[in-house]
Structure 1
Amino acid sequence: MSDIPKAFILGAGLGTRLRPLTENLPKPLVPYLHEPLIHQALRHCQHAGIKHCAINTHHLAHTWPQQFPQKKFENLTLEFFHEPVLLETGGGIKNIEPWIGSDPILVYNGDILTDIDLKGLIQAHQSADNIATLAVFSEGPNCNVALEGSQITDMRHSLGIHPGTHQFSGIYIIEPSILQYIPAGEKISIVPAFLELIRQGKLGAYLADGATWKDLGTREEYLAAHKTAALTHTVEPISPSASIAPEAQIDRDSCFIGPHCVIEKGAKLSNTIVWPGATVHENANLDGCIVRQSAQGTHQNTDL
């Protein structure tokens, strides 16, 4: 098996369901465990041998170069492709055609958390004669992908063959030859191109059962992912660089306090996430809150 050197991370979505958390940041840059959510995807790609990542941008596009001024993340080089008008998945891929060149690429939704075995996906793709290979699960909230063996035979019941049995993960590998099935300069999903590959018998599936997979599309999912991380001790919940007054009362089993935060005296926090650099003022009482910049007073289940 040889590595696939390039990945395209989808970062251009509006993050509508996660508002107001996405009012000042695109969803992939929303903090998760003290750092931008997209860091999880970038590390995942890097560990699978990816060297170069393209990221499409739209909503608050100026925040991306602010976050990555050197166009690098650890050992990855980054390239940003701004979409003044959202092109959706197919249009976004077609838009980076010159960057893709002659290489197969990994495509990765930028707002999910997963530990899918990307090397296993790469191996499955390279061992078959498919133009694209999709990572799927045999269970999930939206099982609309139909399989016969390791080949996909229908999606969304679009071909009238089967309503589906498997959940699409949003992670897949494509060969450059798929680009001929995506019209240039159009806002279009990748699904019509996938349907054409199904007709040709060229759309494969990689079963990713056993891997974790979370879509942080809503506030509830965002809070639940932090709660899981707290229970499994994935990361230190309270950053060492946070400044916390001795008189502050923080439930360390349910709160995440980010780097360079300030928690003033008399503050009481439970089930609360404080984003990096934010301030919780004196005597604030917060339960079930997300603090983006600053908070004072008494609040419950509120984004501040």
Structure 2
Amino acid sequence: MRAMILAAGRGERMRPLTDTLPKPLLSAAGKPLIVWHIERLVRAGIREIIINHAWLGRLIEERLGDGRRYGASISYSAERQALETAGGIAQALEFFRGEPFLVVNGDIWCEWDPAEALGRQTELAAAGLQAWLLLVPNPPHHPGGDFELQADGMLRDPATDTPQAAASRDAGAADMGGAGSHTAADAHPGARTARGAAAASGSDTRRYTYSGIGVYHPALFSGLEKDRPAPLAPLLRQAMRAGQVAGRVYEGTWIDVGTPQRLREIDCLLGARAGTASAAASPKAC
């Protein structure tokens, strides 16, 4: 299986940290965020990875190289301008050779095991689905969630139940993934575990927040033009209306590392596990 890490965003909310360094290279516990992703993918047996980049992308290539030091084979998809999530994936589509693939937002922290994606890849091909999404319980700042998980494991978006609602929602849709985009996760950040967040939000447990991790079939992006910005949200909603998107809820730690404060959160978390506090997060800050 092949994977893509989305890393093309400008990281406006991380400024001034991202004025001279792309967000994926910001460190948590002494290691760049994107390296944590790469190492987790390699441990799961997913070694062929493509990374898209735009802002200061050459620094990402210089830091990671061809990936051999991590046990991976890394390719790059350079974007002259950030193409948003679906546009970035469409530009890199040939890399996946017509097979379902894993996509991970570069600006999240999640302890989910990517090895599950291997089984989901087979599931998509066998069932004729276009996407499988990993969801997380709704955080306090987003009690309504994004998508509804039905009893059969399929996802739906109640906001698109009518053609009028769908047209209105899609016309103003924010991008649903990628470092630097304003996803649902970005709007209601922080670290949380499933049970604690569900209790805090007080929301219907059947509706959840998209984590920024998904397995996609290339067919979902077949209608997009290369080199044209395109958000992911409208594609997912259209596929949901056709009954072609499945998912499940992840009951573990998930953090949207979208601001300096949340970078300190993950730095403190990892530092506490290691029994030390890194330079980015002093004991006082933690």
TM-score bin, normalised by smaller chain: 0.7 to 0.9
Alpha-carbon separation, structure 1, partners of 2:62 and 2:120: 37
Aligned residue number for residue 168 of structure 1 = 210
More helix by share: 2
Q: What amino acid sits opposite 1:193 in the alignment?
A: L
Alpha-carbon separation, structure 2, partners of 1:199 and 1:90: 18
- Out of 18, 21, 28, the residue aligned to residue 22 of structure 1 is 18
Unaligned regions of 5+ residues in structure 1, if any?
A: 238-254, 259-270, 274-286, 290-304
Alignment RMSD = 2.5
How far apart are 1:47 and its partner, in Å?
A: 1.8
- Out of 249, 272, 277, the residue aligned to residue 231 of structure 1 is 272
Q: What amino acid sits opposite 2:155 in the alignment?
A: I
Higher-Rg structure is: 1
Alpha-carbon separation, structure 1, partners of 2:223 and 2:47: 27
How far apart are 1:202 and its partner, in Å?
A: 0.7
CA shift in 2, pair 1:46/1:69, >3 Å: closer
SS in 2 for 1:256: coil
Q: Deviations over 1:10-61 (max 9, x none)?
A: 0011111111111111111011111211111111111222121100011111
Query: Contact 1:121/1:135 (CA < 8 Å) preserved in 2?
Result: no
Length-normalised TM-score, structure 2: 0.76
Aligned residue number for residue 55 of structure 2 = 59
Query: Contact 1:51/1:76 (CA < 8 Å) preserved in 2?
Result: yes
SS in 1 for 2:87: helix
Aligned residue number for residue 248 of structure 2 = 206
Aligned residue number for residue 102 of structure 1 = 98
Q: What amino acid sits opposite 2:209 in the alignment?
A: Q
Q: Deviations over 1:242-287 (max 9, x none)?
A: xxxxxxxxxxxxx4148xxxxxxxxxxxx539xxxxxxxxxxxxx7
Q: What amino acid sits opposite 1:69 in the alignment?
A: G
Alpha-carbon separation, structure 1, partners of 2:69 and 2:243: 37
Q: Deviations over 1:200-243 (max 9, x none)?
A: 2110112212x21111111111112222223222xx63xxxxxx
Q: What amino acid sits opposite 2:147 in the alignment?
A: V
Alpha-carbon separation, structure 2, partners of 1:169 and 1:61: 24
- Pairs within 5 Å for 1:33-182: 33-127=29-123, 129=127, 130-140=129-139, 141-142=141-142, 143-149=145-151, 150-154=153-157, 157-160=159-162, 165-182=207-224
Query: Contact 1:134/1:204 (CA < 8 Å) preserved in 2?
Result: yes
More strand by share: 1
Q: Deviations over 1:80-101 (max 9, x none)?
A: 1111111000000100122122
Number of positions where the alignment pairs a residue of Structure 1 with one of Structure 2: 239
Query: Contact 1:125/1:204 (CA < 8 Å) preserved in 2?
Result: no
1:272 aligns with 2:268: no
CA shift in 2, pair 1:158/1:186, >3 Å: farther
Q: Specify which structure has the bigger relative contact order, considering alpha-carbon pairs within 8 angstroms and separated by 6 or more residues.
A: 2
Q: What amino acid sits opposite 1:184 in the alignment?
A: K
Length-normalised TM-score, structure 1: 0.72
